[in-house]
Amino acid sequence: MNLDEIISEMNLGGKIKDTRERKEILRTELAEFAGVSEGYIAEIENNERLPDYDTALLISEFLGLEVNLTWLKIMDDGGFL
């Protein structure tokens, strides 16, 4: 299984989107807090890309999600930063 398949199987973007929608947070609000574009958030939510380390932390903070340090380690090792 390659890294893209692992990311897709983990469905991190879907979990972010589900949490955002459940808390009735607009994508624009999340993007503004994280300092990124709404399109960037959409790509994350659609599992088209992983956020960089800092953006992942900001998204987690804003949505009240627990940060998975293993996931961030994979991002770092995979050259996504």
CATH number, domain with residue 52: 1.10.260.40
pLDDT higher at 81 or 49? 49
Mean pLDDT (the chain) is 83
d(CA 43, CA 28): 13
Closest listed residue to residue 47, CA positions, set 81, 9, 1 = 9
Tokens matching residue 55: 């953006």
Residue 1: predicted pLDDT: 65
pLDDT of 30 above 60: yes
Average pLDDT over residues 47-69: 85
Any idea what DSSP says for residue 23?
T
Written as six digits, the tokens of 23 are: 């808390």
Task: Output the CA angle 62-23-14, nearest 5 degrees.
Answer: 80
Judge whether residue 6 has pLDDT over 70: no
Domain range for 40? 3-77
Task: Tell me how far apart the terminal alpha carbons of the chain are, to the nearest angstrom.
Answer: 21
Q: How many domains does the chain have?
A: 1
